[in-house]
Amino acid sequence: MLSNSFGLQANAKNLISINSLDDLSALSTLGDEKILILGAGTNVILDEYFNGTVIKIHLKEIETYKEYISVGGGVDWADLIEYCLKNELYGIENLTHIPGSVGAAPVQNIGAYGVEISSFIKSVECFNLRTRKVETLQSNQCKFSYRYSIFQSKNYIILKVNFIFNKSFAPNLTYPALSHFLKDNSIDVSSITPRMLSELIKDIRNSKLPDPKLQPNVGSIFKNPIVRANDFDHNFLDGHRWDQDDEHIKLSSARLIELIKPDLVIPDTLRFYENHSLVLINNGGASFHEVIDLLNQIKLKIFKKFKIELEIEPEIISS
């Protein structure tokens, strides 16, 4: 059984666990069959059966060097946040409480509350499935952009991520949801410590996003689309849009879903989270096909009504 935070029943033909670099020799036996690199399973929608080999990374060492730290891909993201807080390494407090593993972080270039992990990545050590060799890609070779990296090409297995964090604390409090929270709760920004900021982010996320261990989900089900500003009236989605540059704006997928939700046919096994319309929850017994049918419904209705193409955030793994 393949573990995944959406709680879908899934199995695979083969499973290879990488507990040390010596285990990479097992990959030499792989032929042309399909390969799935599975971390904590927090950002995937899995079909019932994967007819190929699943590779799980269990490298969990954290090594400290003079200018950077090297973190195994199997380290839980929450454990890295705690390590940084205890060792006076700053910058990723805003990324607190994101489920998953360190190895998955560069793949989607995870980001939250105005911070993206690519800002702190020095390099990524990985196994190239084409050359069958271990390689190190520098940050500028990883093609990082909004929720994207070269690792989505499926040609690499991330083994370790090398980070350069800040040695002094300079909190990023500019993101609207965060700044509004601080203001609404009368929090003195000058008194914020790294631990306090991390806990605040955790509280905000808990108020908006359900714990996948209690309510199976994969977080945001769609990416927020970036569109040309001139293609829409300046009042369109007012309060749910953000300027990106002189020509582009980012729109709230959650708000777009809310506008077409009455027209959706939603099976009893699924529901949208009460506090955030971008989070889809498995009520129990949901199937892969039910999920995909609903996502396709949403995409079609939003495109027909607004001429906006939504992109699914989690990775869809079909059989």
User: Which residues belong to the active site?
Assistant: 147, 220, 313
Instruction: Write out the H or E segment, with its range, that includes residue 257.
Output: helix 253-260
Distance, CA of 122 to CA of 164 (rounded, Å): 6
CB 40 within 8 A of CB 60: no
Distance, CA of 83 to CA of 77 (rounded, Å): 10
In this structure, is the dihedral angle defined by the CA atoms of residues 93, 99, 102 and 106, taken in order, positive or negative?
negative
* Residue partners of 217: CB distance under 8 A and separation at least 6: 5, 6, 209, 210, 273, 279, 280, 281, 282
Of 175, 96, 127, 103, nearest to 26 by C-alpha is 127
Question: Within 13 Å of residue 243, how many CA atoms lie on the same side as its CB?
Answer: 5
Distance, CA of 174 to CA of 128 (rounded, Å): 38
Beta bridge partners of 17: 56
Instruction: Write out the H or E segment, with its range, that includes residue 305.
Output: helix 288-306
